[in-house]
Structure 1
Amino acid sequence: MKNARAWGKRLLWWWFWVTITLLCLAAGLGIWMQHEHLVLNQSTCEPLGLYRLIGNPYPLHDGELVEVELPDPVTHPAVAEGLRDHWFPQNQPWIKQIGALPGQTVTLSRRGVWVDGRYLPNSRVDRRTPGGRNPIIHYPFGTYHLKSGQVWLYAPGNYAFDSSYYGPVSQGHILQAAQPYWIIPGSQFWLRKGD
Structure 2
Amino acid sequence: MKPALKRASLLAGVSLVVVAPLSALALAHVSLNTTPCMPLGFYQAVAQKPLAVGQTWTVCVPQTWTVYGLHRGYLHPGSACPGGSQALLKKIAALPGQTVTVTKTGVRIDGHLWPMSAPLTRDTAGRPLISDYDVHQIPAGYVWVMGLSPQAWDSRYYGAIPDKDLLNREKAVLIWR
Name the amino acid aligned to 1:140: D
Please identify, of 108-117 and 62-71, the stretch whose mean Cα deviation from structure 2 is larger. Answer: 62-71
User: Number of residues paired by the alignment?
Assistant: 169
Match for residue 74 of structure 2?
A: 87
Which of 154, 165, 170 is 2:157 aligned to?
165
Match for residue 109 of structure 2?
A: 115
Output the CA distance in 2 between the equivalents of 1:25 and 1:121: 40
Which of 142, 150, 170 is 1:178 aligned to?
170
Match for residue 42 of structure 2?
A: 50
Output the CA distance in 2 between the equivalents of 1:170 and 1:97: 14
If each structure's strand is expressed as a fraction of its own residues, which one has the higher value?
2
Name the amino acid aligned to 1:66: W
| Cα shift at 1:120 | 0.2
Unaligned 5+ runs, structure 2: 79-85
| Cα shift at 1:70 | 3.8
- SS of structure 1 residue aligned to 2:52: coil
Q: TM-score, normalised by structure 1?
A: 0.77
Please identify, of 137-146 and 175-184, the stretch whose mean Cα deviation from structure 2 is larger. Answer: 137-146
Match for residue 83 of structure 2?
A: none
Which of 110, 123, 139 is 1:147 aligned to?
139
Please identify, of 139-148 and 83-92, the stretch whose mean Cα deviation from structure 2 is larger. Answer: 83-92
Name the amino acid aligned to 2:68: E
Match for residue 96 of structure 1?
A: 90
Output the CA distance in 2 between the equivalents of 1:50 and 1:20: 26
CA offsets 1:46-72 (integer angstroms, 9 cap, x no match): 100000110324x11111111213431
Greater Cα radius of gyration, structure 1 or 2: 1
Match for residue 120 of structure 2?
A: 126
If each structure's helix is expressed as a fraction of its own residues, which one has the higher value?
1
| Cα shift at 1:111 | 1.8
- SS of structure 1 residue aligned to 2:77: coil
Output the CA distance in 1 between the equivalents of 2:20 and 2:61: 27
| Cα shift at 1:136 | 4.3
| Contact preservation (8 Å) 1:50, 1:180 | yes
Are residue 69 (structure 1) and residue 60 (structure 2) matched?
yes
Output the CA distance in 2 between the equivalents of 1:70 and 1:14: 48
Output the CA distance in 1 between the equivalents of 2:169 and 2:146: 14
RMSD: 2.1
Unaligned 5+ runs, structure 1: 1-8, 188-195
| Contact preservation (8 Å) 1:46, 1:157 | yes
Are the structure 2 counterparts of residues 143 and 30 from structure 1 closer, same or farther at C-alpha, using a change threshold of 3 Å?
A: same
CA offsets 1:138-164 (integer angstroms, 9 cap, x no match): 342111111100100011123111111
- SS of structure 2 residue aligned to 1:183: strand
